[in-house]
Amino acid sequence: MKPISEFDPKSVEIVFTDIDDTLTDSGQLGHVAYEALWRLKDKGFKVVPVTGRPAGWCEMIARFWPVDAVVGENGAFYFMYKNKKMRRYFSTSLKKYRKEKRKLEKLEKEILKKIKGTAVASDQFCRLFDLAIDFCEDVKPLPIEAAVKIKKIFEANGAHAKISSIHVNGWFGNFNKLKTCLYWARQELGVDLKKHNKKALFVGDSPNDEPMFKFFENSFAVANIDKFLSQIEHTPKFVASKPGGQGFAEIVKRLCL
């Protein structure tokens, strides 16, 4: 991973960013990161948070934050608030997803029984598609090995699963963050990021960001990625010297040179 000073920001028009522990510090969105988002917006960048957080949160983020869209529940949807209209694209139909929801309810029972100290994430009631198991947000923090075990239970039952810095999210279906980001750029901006990779940049902090780190030539992590490096095969190309929101602001500063 190279230092940010080696990054050439010329081609970037779109900024995709993770939220938890990338924009936030100890669970809160501080003024440094929030100001950095406004700075990007004022400079004319397209800004899209990409998160495992639920639909209920994303409704608020799309409406209230200085962003162009938000990709939520690990790519299950994107929401866009434009010209006083909320537009919601879903990767899979909610109606068809009922059967999968029932399978997730069964998995929830199995995981809570097998992995002691975990809990259903407190934001689960706002979710439409996935099941989020808390291993490091409101519960007493569990080691990364516990998160890996949860992920394996999801996968043994045919679900997809990703580990963030606070939750393990599991879902059925073929959507993911990267696919939904590429679809958003094509659909809403007419930009094919497979051909014009360097038009976008991604910032993240944990294993669930790995497909984004792998795809984007301009991929960044904030400094707190260090605790997850053993879980990540495709590391980002650049790393900030500071963690969380301060690290994000460092990247934005370089971008807005």
Binding positions for Mg ion, rule: CB under 5 A: 18, 20-21, 164-165, 205-206
Q: Closest distance between Mg ion and the C-beta of residue 82, in Å? A: 26
Q: Closest distance between Mg ion and the C-beta of residue 165, in Å? A: 5
Taking the least distance from each CB to Mg ion, the nearer of 181 and 191 is 181
> What's the DSSP call for residue 127?
-
Residue with smallest beta-carbon separation from Mg ion: 20
Q: Closest distance between Mg ion and the C-beta of residue 25, in Å? A: 12
For residue 139, give the amino acid letter: V
Q: Closest distance between Mg ion and the C-beta of residue 62, in Å? A: 19
Q: 37 is written with which tokens?
A: 């988002």
For residue 80, give the amino acid letter: M
Helix axes 144-156, 98-114, angle to 10 degrees: 140
Q: Closest distance between Mg ion and the C-beta of residue 17, in Å? A: 10
Taking the least distance from each CB to Mg ion, the nearer of 74 and 206 is 206
Taking the least distance from each CB to Mg ion, the nearer of 205 and 210 is 205
Residue 66, SS3?
A: coil
Taking the least distance from each CB to Mg ion, the nearer of 25 and 100 is 25
Q: 55 is written with which tokens?
A: 């639909």
Burial of 209 (0-12, 13-18, 19+ CB in 10 A): buried
CA-to-CA distance for 152 and 161, rounded, in angstroms?
8
Taking the least distance from each CB to Mg ion, the nearer of 18 and 68 is 18
Q: Closest distance between Mg ion and the C-beta of residue 58, in Å? A: 15
CA-to-CA distance for 255 and 13, rounded, in angstroms?
10
Alpha-carbon distance values, 16 to 22, 78, 92 (Å)? 11, 12, 22
CA-to-CA distance for 23 and 32, rounded, in angstroms?
9
Taking the least distance from each CB to Mg ion, the nearer of 169 and 206 is 206
Order of all β-strands in the sheet with 160-163: 119-120, 131-134, 167-171, 160-163
